[in-house]
């Protein structure tokens, strides 16, 4: 867990793999920075999380698909709240610029 860093620093980014960094965690909340460079969830894979998730795109673009087939494209500065157990997947992410996500997870 980092104690101080720049959210836009891409020195840990890889062009071939998504990078997930835990910025803070305790018994109530987890904060992650995710750097995506064109990655998406595997076909047929769905997140079904026990936690609520608030996620914001800080840079680039990311698209989330819901189980009902609807999608939400998030551009820089846009965010979405995903309640616990709402099935979703990452449909696409930009490679140039990389998609930088900031995600907060918590349980009720």
pLDDT score for 12:
72
Q: What would the pLDDT profile of 2-53 be if each residue is shown by its tens digit?
A: 677 899 998 877 778 899 999 999 999 999 999 999 999 999 999 999 999 9
| Residue 45 main-chain phi, psi, to 5 deg | -90, 135
Q: What would the pLDDT profile of 50-108 be if each residue is shown by its tens digit?
A: 999 999 999 999 999 999 999 999 999 999 999 999 999 999 999 999 999 999 999 97
Q: Which residues contact 85 (CB under 8 A, 6 or more apart)?
A: 48, 49, 50
Stated pTM of the model:
0.92
> CB–CB of 33/23 below 8 Å?
yes
Tokens found for residue 48: 């079904």
Domain 19-106 has CATH 3.40.47.10: no
């Amino acid at each position: 867990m980092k104690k101080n860093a720049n959210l836009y620093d891409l020195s840990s980014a890889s062009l071939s793999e998504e990078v997930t960094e835990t910025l803070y965690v305790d018994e109530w909340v987890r904060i992650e920075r995710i750097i995506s460079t064109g990655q998406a969830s595997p076909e047929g894979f769905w997140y079904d999380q026990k936690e609520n998730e608030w996620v914001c795109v800080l840079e680039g673009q990311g698209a989330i698909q819901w189980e009902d087939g609807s999608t939400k494209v998030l551009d820089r500065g846009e965010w979405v709240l995903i309640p616990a157990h709402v099935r979703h997947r990452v449909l696409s992410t930009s490679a140039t610029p990389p998609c930088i996500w900031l995600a907060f997870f918590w349980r009720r």
